[in-house]
Homo-oligomer: A and B are copies of this chain.
Amino acid sequence: MARPKEFDRDEAVRRAMGVFWEKGYEATSTDDLLRAMGIGRQSMYDTFGDKHRLYLEALQRYQAESAASLMERLRAEDSPLAAVERVLMAIASESAAERARGCMGVNAIAELAQKDAEVASVSKSAAMTCEAAFERVVQQAKRRGEVPPSVDARQAGRFLLNALQGLRVTAKAGAPPAALREVATFTVASLRAR
């Protein structure tokens, strides 16, 4: 009908995501967001509602992308268990800056899950998605004999997601890559040796 937006909405959300991810929700000001998104104040409020809605959209985007990435990397060509190990090991291989940034989902849970029901809900559904992905991989691993049949795939899936979230915290706390690698290896070995 009328004048079209001058910016790419998707790109704007992505940039907002970067700021929220880096600084957290409270520590991010609307000015921070506008500068990063490269748009005007009114455009932001017209397009996204307010800071909180923009955050939710950024968080959902993050969860969607990160779950998709997880599922792709878990796709087991050769060995399901090796794929799991690669996923856990990947954190140790990140740059120091990436490890310090951590996982936006974990940051969101720590900062907001208690007081913000919408954040809690988004986090919960993302967790279920990841849990299920891990569970499927464990099932494949069982079929290939990489994991003994006595292992309950659902439990193992939860166990792996828990370890992944732990690694995110441990990494952000400044643990050296070698320590992260030890944890990753030990975790995967726990499944093999059951």
Count of this chain's copies in the oligomeric assembly: 2
Is A173 an interface residue, CB under 8 A from the partner? yes
Which 6 A-B residue pairs are closest in the complex by CB-CB distance? A166-B166, A110-B110, A26-B26, A190-B190, A162-B166, A165-B169
A185 to B109, CA, bound (A): 24
Number of interface residues of A (CB under 8 A): 49
A-B contacts, 5 of them at CB < 8 A, read A26-B26, A106-B110, A127-B175, A155-B185, A165-B166
A82-117, CB under 8 A of B: which get 1 and which 0? Answer: 000000000000000000111000110111011100
Chain B residues with CB under 8 A of A182: 154-155, 158-159
